[in-house]
Protein backbone atom coordinates (compact mmCIF):
# COMPACT_ATOMS: atom_id res chain seq x y z
CA UNK A 1 0.00 0.00 0.00
CA UNK A 2 1.28 3.51 -0.80
CA UNK A 3 2.49 5.48 2.19
CA UNK A 4 0.33 8.56 2.88
CA UNK A 5 2.43 11.73 2.85
CA UNK A 6 1.79 15.47 3.17
CA UNK A 7 0.91 17.17 -0.16
CA UNK A 8 3.82 18.66 -2.12
CA UNK A 9 4.73 22.11 -0.85
CA UNK A 10 3.21 21.63 2.61
CA UNK A 11 4.96 20.60 5.81
CA UNK A 12 4.27 19.68 9.41
CA UNK A 13 5.66 21.97 12.07
CA UNK A 14 6.67 19.57 14.80
CA UNK A 15 6.68 20.13 18.60
CA UNK A 16 10.51 20.27 18.66
CA UNK A 17 10.57 23.36 16.41
CA UNK A 18 7.26 25.03 17.30
CA UNK A 19 8.82 27.20 20.02
CA UNK A 20 10.59 29.26 17.33
CA UNK A 21 7.30 29.89 15.52
CA UNK A 22 5.54 30.76 18.75
CA UNK A 23 8.32 33.17 19.69
CA UNK A 24 8.25 34.99 16.31
CA UNK A 25 4.45 35.20 16.49
CA UNK A 26 4.45 36.40 20.10
CA UNK A 27 6.99 39.17 19.45
CA UNK A 28 5.06 40.24 16.33
CA UNK A 29 1.84 40.50 18.35
CA UNK A 30 3.65 42.49 21.07
CA UNK A 31 5.18 44.89 18.54
CA UNK A 32 1.85 45.37 16.76
CA UNK A 33 0.21 46.06 20.10
CA UNK A 34 2.86 48.71 20.90
CA UNK A 35 2.03 50.43 17.61
CA UNK A 36 -1.76 50.23 18.30
CA UNK A 37 -2.58 47.46 15.80
CA UNK A 38 -5.40 45.08 16.73
CA UNK A 39 -5.66 41.48 15.55
CA UNK A 40 -8.12 40.46 12.85
CA UNK A 41 -8.92 36.89 11.78
CA UNK A 42 -10.29 36.43 8.28
CA UNK A 43 -11.59 33.34 6.43
CA UNK A 44 -9.14 30.89 4.84
CA UNK A 45 -11.13 31.07 1.61
CA UNK A 46 -13.03 33.86 -0.13
CA UNK A 47 -15.08 34.25 -3.30
CA UNK A 48 -12.56 34.05 -6.16
CA UNK A 49 -13.65 37.55 -7.21
CA UNK A 50 -12.05 39.05 -4.07
CA UNK A 51 -8.60 38.08 -5.36
CA UNK A 52 -9.33 38.66 -9.05
CA UNK A 53 -10.39 42.23 -8.32
CA UNK A 54 -8.06 42.84 -5.39
CA UNK A 55 -4.77 41.16 -6.29
CA UNK A 56 -5.43 41.56 -10.04
CA UNK A 57 -6.30 39.02 -12.72
CA UNK A 58 -3.10 39.59 -14.71
CA UNK A 59 -0.80 38.78 -11.76
CA UNK A 60 1.08 35.47 -11.50
CA UNK A 61 -0.64 34.89 -8.16
CA UNK A 62 -4.15 34.96 -9.69
CA UNK A 63 -3.34 33.68 -13.19
CA UNK A 64 -1.13 30.76 -12.24
CA UNK A 65 -1.02 30.11 -8.52
CA UNK A 66 -4.48 30.18 -6.97
CA UNK A 67 -6.21 27.12 -5.53
CA UNK A 68 -9.64 27.72 -7.08
CA UNK A 69 -12.58 25.32 -7.08
CA UNK A 70 -16.37 25.26 -7.32
CA UNK A 71 -18.01 24.42 -4.00
CA UNK A 72 -21.02 22.13 -3.78
CA UNK A 73 -23.29 25.14 -4.36
CA UNK A 74 -21.48 25.96 -7.61
CA UNK A 75 -19.72 29.08 -6.21
CA UNK A 76 -16.16 29.83 -7.31
CA UNK A 77 -14.02 29.78 -4.18
CA UNK A 78 -10.27 30.35 -3.77
CA UNK A 79 -7.94 29.60 -0.88
CA UNK A 80 -6.39 32.92 0.12
CA UNK A 81 -3.03 33.48 -1.61
CA UNK A 82 -2.41 36.47 0.72
CA UNK A 83 -4.19 38.52 3.40
CA UNK A 84 -4.66 42.07 2.12
CA UNK A 85 -7.64 41.44 -0.19
CA UNK A 86 -9.55 39.56 2.54
CA UNK A 87 -8.82 42.23 5.17
CA UNK A 88 -9.96 44.97 2.75
CA UNK A 89 -13.15 43.02 2.03
CA UNK A 90 -13.73 42.69 5.79
CA UNK A 91 -13.02 46.41 6.36
CA UNK A 92 -15.89 47.34 4.01
CA UNK A 93 -18.27 44.54 5.03
CA UNK A 94 -17.92 45.36 8.74
CA UNK A 95 -18.27 49.12 8.33
CA UNK A 96 -14.79 49.83 9.68
CA UNK A 97 -14.83 53.12 7.77
CA UNK A 98 -16.79 54.54 10.72
CA UNK A 99 -13.97 53.73 13.19
CA UNK A 100 -11.63 56.72 13.76
CA UNK A 101 -8.76 56.48 11.25
CA UNK A 102 -6.21 55.10 10.91
CA UNK A 103 -7.76 51.68 11.37
CA UNK A 104 -4.77 49.49 12.23
CA UNK A 105 -5.17 45.71 11.86
CA UNK A 106 -2.68 42.83 12.06
CA UNK A 107 -2.95 39.13 11.24
CA UNK A 108 -1.22 35.78 11.44
CA UNK A 109 -2.41 33.56 8.59
CA UNK A 110 -1.68 30.59 6.39
CA UNK A 111 -1.71 31.36 2.65
CA UNK A 112 -1.77 29.10 -0.40
CA UNK A 113 -0.08 29.43 -3.78
CA UNK A 114 0.40 26.69 -6.37
CA UNK A 115 4.07 27.51 -7.01
CA UNK A 116 7.15 25.55 -8.06
CA UNK A 117 8.33 24.25 -4.73
CA UNK A 118 11.90 25.07 -3.72
CA UNK A 119 13.88 26.37 -0.74
CA UNK A 120 11.75 29.07 0.90
CA UNK A 121 8.88 28.63 -1.55
CA UNK A 122 5.96 26.47 -0.47
CA UNK A 123 2.36 25.88 -1.50
CA UNK A 124 1.08 26.44 2.02
CA UNK A 125 3.01 29.06 3.96
CA UNK A 126 2.52 31.42 6.89
CA UNK A 127 2.34 35.20 6.88
CA UNK A 128 2.50 37.76 9.68
CA UNK A 129 1.03 40.93 8.27
CA UNK A 130 -0.71 44.19 8.95
CA UNK A 131 -2.83 46.79 7.19
CA UNK A 132 -3.61 50.42 8.07
CA UNK A 133 -6.59 52.17 6.47
CA UNK A 134 -7.54 55.82 6.23
CA UNK A 135 -4.29 57.80 6.05
CA UNK A 136 -2.93 59.37 2.84
CA UNK A 137 0.18 60.95 4.34
CA UNK A 138 3.70 59.47 4.08
CA UNK A 139 3.99 59.51 7.91
CA UNK A 140 2.12 56.21 8.18
CA UNK A 141 4.32 54.67 5.44
CA UNK A 142 7.35 55.58 7.54
CA UNK A 143 5.74 54.35 10.76
CA UNK A 144 4.98 50.96 9.19
CA UNK A 145 8.53 50.62 7.85
CA UNK A 146 9.83 51.59 11.31
CA UNK A 147 7.55 48.95 12.91
CA UNK A 148 9.06 46.35 10.60
CA UNK A 149 12.57 47.45 11.43
CA UNK A 150 11.68 47.48 15.17
CA UNK A 151 10.38 43.90 14.86
CA UNK A 152 13.50 42.71 13.04
CA UNK A 153 15.67 44.27 15.77
CA UNK A 154 13.57 42.62 18.50
CA UNK A 155 14.05 39.27 16.74
CA UNK A 156 17.80 39.88 16.79
CA UNK A 157 18.33 40.16 13.02
CA UNK A 158 21.61 41.81 12.18
CA UNK A 159 21.25 43.32 8.75
CA UNK A 160 17.79 44.80 8.36
CA UNK A 161 18.11 47.40 5.64
CA UNK A 162 14.69 47.81 4.00
CA UNK A 163 14.48 48.60 0.29
CA UNK A 164 11.94 51.18 -0.82
CA UNK A 165 10.56 52.44 -4.13
CA UNK A 166 7.54 54.24 -5.52
CA UNK A 167 5.42 52.80 -8.30
CA UNK A 168 3.32 55.96 -8.63
CA UNK A 169 -0.42 56.45 -8.98
CA UNK A 170 -2.75 55.42 -11.85
CA UNK A 171 -2.08 58.72 -13.60
CA UNK A 172 1.73 58.43 -13.71
CA UNK A 173 1.37 54.71 -14.45
CA UNK A 174 -0.47 55.58 -17.69
CA UNK A 175 2.45 57.70 -18.93
CA UNK A 176 4.96 55.11 -17.77
CA UNK A 177 3.09 52.23 -19.49
CA UNK A 178 3.57 54.02 -22.85
CA UNK A 179 7.30 54.42 -22.15
CA UNK A 180 7.63 50.79 -21.04
CA UNK A 181 5.74 49.46 -24.05
CA UNK A 182 7.99 51.49 -26.39
CA UNK A 183 10.97 49.81 -24.72
CA UNK A 184 9.45 46.30 -24.75
CA UNK A 185 7.89 46.29 -28.24
CA UNK A 186 11.07 45.25 -30.14
CA UNK A 187 11.46 42.27 -27.74
CA UNK A 188 7.84 41.09 -27.86
CA UNK A 189 8.58 37.93 -29.90
CA UNK A 190 11.14 36.69 -27.36
CA UNK A 191 8.83 37.02 -24.35
CA UNK A 192 6.82 34.22 -22.68
CA UNK A 193 3.19 33.80 -23.78
CA UNK A 194 1.81 35.27 -20.51
CA UNK A 195 3.91 38.42 -20.94
CA UNK A 196 2.80 38.78 -24.55
CA UNK A 197 -0.76 38.95 -23.18
CA UNK A 198 0.30 41.34 -20.41
CA UNK A 199 1.86 43.72 -22.95
CA UNK A 200 -1.57 45.07 -23.85
CA UNK A 201 -3.35 44.53 -20.53
CA UNK A 202 -0.80 45.39 -17.80
CA UNK A 203 2.79 45.89 -19.04
CA UNK A 204 4.21 46.60 -15.54
CA UNK A 205 3.59 42.94 -14.65
CA UNK A 206 6.20 41.94 -17.29
CA UNK A 207 8.89 43.43 -15.02
CA UNK A 208 7.79 40.99 -12.33
CA UNK A 209 7.84 37.85 -14.54
CA UNK A 210 9.83 34.92 -13.14
CA UNK A 211 10.80 33.52 -16.59
CA UNK A 212 14.53 33.93 -17.25
CA UNK A 213 14.07 35.18 -20.86
CA UNK A 214 11.67 37.93 -19.71
CA UNK A 215 13.98 38.88 -16.82
CA UNK A 216 16.84 39.48 -19.29
CA UNK A 217 14.65 41.70 -21.46
CA UNK A 218 13.41 43.86 -18.57
CA UNK A 219 16.87 44.33 -17.04
CA UNK A 220 17.40 47.71 -18.74
CA UNK A 221 13.77 48.85 -18.86
CA UNK A 222 13.10 52.45 -17.80
CA UNK A 223 12.47 52.75 -14.04
CA UNK A 224 9.08 53.83 -12.76
CA UNK A 225 10.63 55.94 -9.99
CA UNK A 226 12.29 58.14 -12.64
CA UNK A 227 8.90 58.76 -14.24
CA UNK A 228 6.41 59.39 -11.43
CA UNK A 229 4.25 62.52 -11.22
CA UNK A 230 4.96 65.47 -8.94
CA UNK A 231 2.51 64.43 -6.23
CA UNK A 232 3.97 60.91 -6.03
CA UNK A 233 7.47 62.30 -6.05
CA UNK A 234 6.66 64.69 -3.17
CA UNK A 235 5.16 61.76 -1.23
CA UNK A 236 8.31 59.71 -1.76
CA UNK A 237 10.61 62.56 -0.72
CA UNK A 238 8.56 63.07 2.45
CA UNK A 239 8.74 59.33 3.19
CA UNK A 240 12.54 59.53 2.98
CA UNK A 241 12.56 62.55 5.32
CA UNK A 242 10.36 60.71 7.82
CA UNK A 243 12.58 57.62 7.72
CA UNK A 244 15.63 59.78 8.33
CA UNK A 245 13.92 61.48 11.29
CA UNK A 246 13.15 58.05 12.74
CA UNK A 247 16.72 56.84 12.12
CA UNK A 248 15.61 53.90 9.94
CA UNK A 249 18.23 52.65 7.52
CA UNK A 250 16.84 52.10 4.03
CA UNK A 251 17.95 51.85 0.44
CA UNK A 252 16.16 52.92 -2.75
CA UNK A 253 15.67 50.02 -5.18
CA UNK A 254 14.06 51.13 -8.43
CA UNK A 255 13.51 47.48 -9.49
CA UNK A 256 10.86 46.77 -6.84
CA UNK A 257 7.46 46.62 -8.54
CA UNK A 258 5.82 43.95 -6.30
CA UNK A 259 3.81 41.07 -7.73
CA UNK A 260 0.31 42.24 -6.84
CA UNK A 261 -1.77 44.80 -8.72
CA UNK A 262 -3.24 46.89 -5.91
CA UNK A 263 -0.10 48.89 -5.08
CA UNK A 264 0.21 52.66 -5.55
CA UNK A 265 3.06 54.99 -4.51
CA UNK A 266 5.23 53.48 -1.74
CA UNK A 267 6.40 49.87 -2.03
CA UNK A 268 9.06 48.17 0.08
CA UNK A 269 10.78 44.84 0.61
CA UNK A 270 13.25 43.19 2.91
CA UNK A 271 15.46 40.75 1.00
CA UNK A 272 18.09 38.35 2.34
CA UNK A 273 20.77 36.31 0.60
CA UNK A 274 20.12 33.30 2.82
CA UNK A 275 16.62 32.30 1.78
CA UNK A 276 17.33 30.70 -1.62
CA UNK A 277 16.40 32.35 -4.88
CA UNK A 278 13.23 33.57 -3.21
CA UNK A 279 15.06 35.96 -0.91
CA UNK A 280 12.17 38.29 -0.13
CA UNK A 281 11.29 37.86 3.52
CA UNK A 282 8.83 40.70 3.64
CA UNK A 283 6.98 42.85 1.14
CA UNK A 284 4.42 45.59 1.34
CA UNK A 285 3.22 48.94 0.18
CA UNK A 286 0.43 51.44 -0.21
CA UNK A 287 -2.84 50.65 -2.02
CA UNK A 288 -4.98 53.77 -2.21
CA UNK A 289 -7.44 52.37 -4.79
CA UNK A 290 -8.25 48.92 -3.35
CA UNK A 291 -11.19 49.80 -1.10
CA UNK A 292 -12.84 51.75 -3.94
CA UNK A 293 -12.15 48.84 -6.33
CA UNK A 294 -14.17 46.67 -3.92
CA UNK A 295 -17.09 49.13 -4.01
CA UNK A 296 -16.26 50.92 -0.76
CA UNK A 297 -15.81 54.66 -0.14
CA UNK A 298 -12.40 55.77 -1.47
CA UNK A 299 -10.02 55.03 1.41
CA UNK A 300 -6.23 54.76 1.35
CA UNK A 301 -4.44 51.73 2.76
CA UNK A 302 -0.94 50.45 3.38
CA UNK A 303 0.53 47.28 4.86
CA UNK A 304 3.01 44.45 4.60
CA UNK A 305 3.30 40.72 5.09
CA UNK A 306 6.32 38.70 6.06
CA UNK A 307 6.78 35.02 5.37
CA UNK A 308 7.33 33.16 8.63
CA UNK A 309 9.15 30.23 6.99
CA UNK A 310 11.59 32.64 5.35
CA UNK A 311 12.02 34.73 8.52
CA UNK A 312 12.89 31.60 10.53
CA UNK A 313 15.35 30.49 7.83
CA UNK A 314 17.03 33.89 8.12
CA UNK A 315 17.12 33.60 11.91
CA UNK A 316 18.80 30.19 11.65
CA UNK A 317 21.30 31.34 9.04
CA UNK A 318 22.25 34.36 11.18
CA UNK A 319 22.71 31.83 14.04
CA UNK A 320 20.29 33.68 16.27
CA UNK A 321 19.36 31.47 19.22
CA UNK A 322 15.75 31.42 20.36
CA UNK A 323 15.62 29.90 23.84
CA UNK A 324 13.86 26.56 24.09
CA UNK A 325 11.10 26.64 26.68
CA UNK A 326 11.91 25.03 30.01
CA UNK A 327 11.74 21.27 30.10
CA UNK A 328 9.12 19.78 32.35
CA UNK A 329 9.87 20.59 35.98
CA UNK A 330 8.83 17.72 38.24
CA UNK A 331 8.02 14.06 37.70
CA UNK A 332 6.26 11.86 40.25
CA UNK A 333 7.28 8.24 39.78
CA UNK A 334 4.60 6.17 41.47
CA UNK A 335 4.26 2.65 42.90
CA UNK A 336 1.03 0.93 43.90
CA UNK A 337 -2.50 2.34 43.98
CA UNK A 338 -1.96 4.81 46.86
CA UNK A 339 1.27 6.09 45.26
CA UNK A 340 -0.49 6.56 41.92
CA UNK A 341 -3.43 8.37 43.57
CA UNK A 342 -1.25 10.74 45.59
CA UNK A 343 0.94 11.43 42.51
CA UNK A 344 -2.15 12.50 40.53
CA UNK A 345 -3.31 14.81 43.35
CA UNK A 346 0.17 16.36 43.73
CA UNK A 347 0.45 16.86 39.96
CA UNK A 348 -2.82 18.81 39.95
CA UNK A 349 -1.64 20.87 42.94
CA UNK A 350 1.65 21.78 41.21
CA UNK A 351 -0.10 22.61 37.93
CA UNK A 352 -2.58 24.85 39.74
CA UNK A 353 0.44 26.80 40.98
CA UNK A 354 1.84 27.10 37.42
CA UNK A 355 4.50 24.36 37.74
CA UNK A 356 4.74 21.74 34.97
CA UNK A 357 4.24 18.33 36.57
CA UNK A 358 3.70 14.80 35.29
CA UNK A 359 3.26 11.27 36.59
CA UNK A 360 3.11 7.81 35.06
CA UNK A 361 -0.35 6.80 33.87
CA UNK A 362 0.71 3.57 32.18
CA UNK A 363 1.56 1.30 35.12
CA UNK A 364 5.24 1.16 34.16
CA UNK A 365 7.95 -0.28 36.41
CA UNK A 366 9.96 2.13 38.58
CA UNK A 367 13.00 1.54 36.35
CA UNK A 368 11.03 2.40 33.22
CA UNK A 369 9.58 5.50 34.90
CA UNK A 370 13.05 6.73 35.91
CA UNK A 371 14.30 6.16 32.35
CA UNK A 372 11.36 8.18 30.98
CA UNK A 373 11.97 11.03 33.46
CA UNK A 374 15.65 11.27 32.61
CA UNK A 375 15.02 11.09 28.81
CA UNK A 376 12.31 13.75 29.00
CA UNK A 377 14.64 16.05 30.95
CA UNK A 378 12.70 16.66 34.18
CA UNK A 379 14.56 18.85 36.65
CA UNK A 380 13.24 17.00 39.71
CA UNK A 381 11.97 13.47 40.34
CA UNK A 382 10.07 12.24 43.39
CA UNK A 383 9.27 8.57 44.08
CA UNK A 384 5.89 8.00 45.70
CA UNK A 385 5.19 4.48 47.03
CA UNK A 386 3.63 2.81 50.14
CA UNK A 387 6.88 3.30 52.06
CA UNK A 388 7.10 7.06 51.44
CA UNK A 389 3.40 7.56 52.16
CA UNK A 390 3.54 5.80 55.54
CA UNK A 391 6.72 7.76 56.49
CA UNK A 392 5.03 11.02 55.35
CA UNK A 393 8.17 12.11 53.51
CA UNK A 394 9.83 11.70 50.09
CA UNK A 395 13.22 12.18 48.48
CA UNK A 396 13.35 15.03 45.96
CA UNK A 397 15.99 14.13 43.41
CA UNK A 398 17.73 16.96 41.52
CA UNK A 399 18.43 15.27 38.17
CA UNK A 400 21.10 17.66 36.90
CA UNK A 401 23.13 17.72 40.13
CA UNK A 402 22.45 14.10 41.11
CA UNK A 403 21.62 15.24 44.69
CA UNK A 404 18.71 14.30 46.96
CA UNK A 405 16.79 16.24 49.58
CA UNK A 406 14.32 14.81 52.09
CA UNK A 407 11.02 16.67 52.19
CA UNK A 408 7.70 16.23 54.06
CA UNK A 409 4.80 15.28 51.80
CA UNK A 410 2.70 17.97 53.53
CA UNK A 411 5.33 20.58 52.57
CA UNK A 412 5.12 19.61 48.91
CA UNK A 413 1.74 21.34 48.60
CA UNK A 414 3.38 24.75 48.98
CA UNK A 415 6.82 23.93 47.61
CA UNK A 416 8.37 26.47 45.23
CA UNK A 417 11.26 26.21 42.77
P1 LIG B 1 3.89 39.04 -1.07
O2 LIG B 1 5.16 39.72 -1.42
O3 LIG B 1 3.20 38.31 -2.15
O4 LIG B 1 2.95 40.18 -0.47
O5 LIG B 1 4.11 38.05 0.14
C6 LIG B 1 4.65 38.51 1.34
C7 LIG B 1 5.67 37.51 1.86
O8 LIG B 1 5.09 36.21 1.96
C9 LIG B 1 6.87 37.30 0.96
O10 LIG B 1 7.83 38.32 1.14
C11 LIG B 1 7.38 35.95 1.42
O12 LIG B 1 8.17 36.06 2.57
C13 LIG B 1 6.09 35.23 1.77
N14 LIG B 1 5.73 34.30 0.69
C15 LIG B 1 5.07 34.58 -0.44
N16 LIG B 1 4.91 33.47 -1.19
C17 LIG B 1 5.49 32.47 -0.51
C18 LIG B 1 5.67 31.07 -0.75
N19 LIG B 1 5.18 30.47 -1.83
N20 LIG B 1 6.34 30.33 0.18
C21 LIG B 1 6.83 30.92 1.30
N22 LIG B 1 6.68 32.21 1.58
C23 LIG B 1 6.03 33.00 0.69
C24 LIG B 1 1.70 39.94 0.00
O25 LIG B 1 1.25 38.86 0.22
C26 LIG B 1 0.96 41.22 0.34
N27 LIG B 1 -0.38 40.85 0.78
C28 LIG B 1 1.70 42.01 1.37
C29 LIG B 1 0.99 43.28 1.73
C30 LIG B 1 0.24 43.49 2.81
N31 LIG B 1 1.00 44.38 1.01
C32 LIG B 1 0.26 45.28 1.62
N33 LIG B 1 -0.23 44.75 2.69
Nearest CA to ligand 1 atom 16: 121
Confidence at 270, pLDDT banded by 50, 70, 90: very high
Residue nearest (by alpha carbon) to ligand 1 atom 30: 304
Residue whose CA lies nearest to ligand 1 atom number 4:
283
User: pLDDT grade, residue 161 (50/70/90)?
Assistant: confident
**What is the DSSP secondary-structure string of 108-142?**
EEEEE-----BTTB-SEEEEEEEEEES--SHHHHH
pLDDT at 98: 97
pLDDT band of 325, cuts 50, 70, 90: confident
pLDDT for res 26 = 98
Q: What pLDDT is attached to residue 208?
A: 82
CB 305 less than 6 A from any atom of ligand 1: yes
Do 330-413 and 15-169+228-317 have the same topology in CATH?
no
Residues 116-139, mean pLDDT to the nearest whole number: 97
Residue 60: which pLDDT band, with cuts at 50, 70 and 90? confident
* The pLDDT of residue 277 is above 70: no
Task: Check: CB of residue 382 under 8 Å from CB of residue 394.
Answer: yes
- Nearest of 239, 236, 240 to residue 223 by alpha carbon: 236
Confidence (pLDDT) at 58: 84
Is the distance from CB of 394 to CB of 381 less than 8 angstroms? no
- Residue to probe by mutation, ligand 1, list 301, 307, 313, most atoms within 8 Å of CB: 307
What's the CATH code, domain 330-413? 3.40.50.800
How far is it, in rounded angstroms, from Cα 77 to Cα 93?
18
Closest CA to 68 of 85, 92, 51: 51
Percent of the chain with pLDDT over 70: 99
- In order of 97, 300, 413, the CA distances from 33 in angstroms are 21, 22, 38
Burial 110-135 (b: 16+ CB within 10 A, else e): ebbbbbeeeebbbbbbbbbbbbbbbb
Name the CATH topology of 15-169+228-317.
BirA Bifunctional Protein; domain 2 (3.30.930)
274 three-state secondary structure: coil
Cis amide leading into 102 (omega within 30): yes
Q: Is 309 in the pocket of ligand 1 (CB under 6 A)?
A: yes
Least confident of 8-12, 73-77, 210-214: 210-214
Query: Coil, strand, or helix at residue 281?
Result: strand
The 3-state DSSP class for residue 348 equals helix
> In the structure, what pLDDT confidence band is assigned to residue 278 with cuts at 50, 70 and 90?
low
The residue contributing the CA closest to ligand 1 atom 11 is 307
d(CA 347, CA 380): 13
Ligand 1 centroid to 306 CA: how many Å? Answer: 6
Q: How far apart are CA 53 and CA 57, in angstroms?
A: 7
| Residue 280 CB–ligand 1 contact under 6 Å | yes
Q: 3-state class of 14 per DSSP?
A: coil
Assess whether pLDDT exceeds 80 at residue 90.
Answer: yes
pLDDT higher than threshold 90 for residue 306: yes
Report which ligand 1 atom has the smallest distance to the Cα of 65. Answer: 19
Give residue-wise pLDDT tens across range 330-346. 999 999 999 999 999 99
Q: Ligand 1, from 121, 283, 301: best to mutate by most atoms within 8 Å of Cβ?
A: 283
pTM for this model (two decimals): 0.93
User: By CB neighbour count within 10 A (0-12 exposed, 13-18 middle, 19+ buried), where does 304 fall?
Assistant: buried
288 lines ligand 1 (CB under 6 A): no
How far is Cα 47 from Cα 51, in angstroms, rounded to an integer? 8
Residue 348 has pLDDT above 90, yes or no: yes
Report pLDDT for 69.
98
* 177 CA from centroid of ligand 1 (Å): 25
Contact criterion met (CB below 8 Å) for 366 and 335: yes
- Over residues 372-381, the pLDDT tens digits come to 999 999 999 9
**Of the residues 104, 125, 205, 287, which should be mutated to test ligand 1's pocket, given the most ligand atoms within 8 Å of the CB?**
125
CA distance 177 to 330: 67
CA–CA separation, 115 vs 110, rounded Å? 15
Residue boundaries of the structural domains of the chain: 15-169+228-317, 330-413
Asked if residue 275 has pLDDT above 70, the reply is: no
Distance of alpha carbon 250 from alpha carbon 160, whole angstroms: 9
Nearest of 313, 369, 310, 377 to residue 339 by alpha carbon? 369
The Cα–Cα gap between 286 and 304 comes to: 9
pLDDT at 114 over 70: yes
Ligand 1 mutation target, pool 106, 120, 310, 311, most atoms within 8 A of CB: 310
Amino acid sequence: MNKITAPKGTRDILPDEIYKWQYAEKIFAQVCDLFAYREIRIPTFESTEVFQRGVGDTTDVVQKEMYTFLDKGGRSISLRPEGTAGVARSYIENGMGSIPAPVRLYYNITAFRYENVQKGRYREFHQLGLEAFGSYGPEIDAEIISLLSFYFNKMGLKSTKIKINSIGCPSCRKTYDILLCDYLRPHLDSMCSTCKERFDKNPLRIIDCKEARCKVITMDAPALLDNICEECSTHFAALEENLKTLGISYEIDKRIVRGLDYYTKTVFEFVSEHVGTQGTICGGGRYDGLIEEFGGVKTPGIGFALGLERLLMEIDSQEIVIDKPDNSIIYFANLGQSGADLAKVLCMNFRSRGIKAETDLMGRSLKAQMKYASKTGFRYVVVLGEEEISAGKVKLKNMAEGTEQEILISDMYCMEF
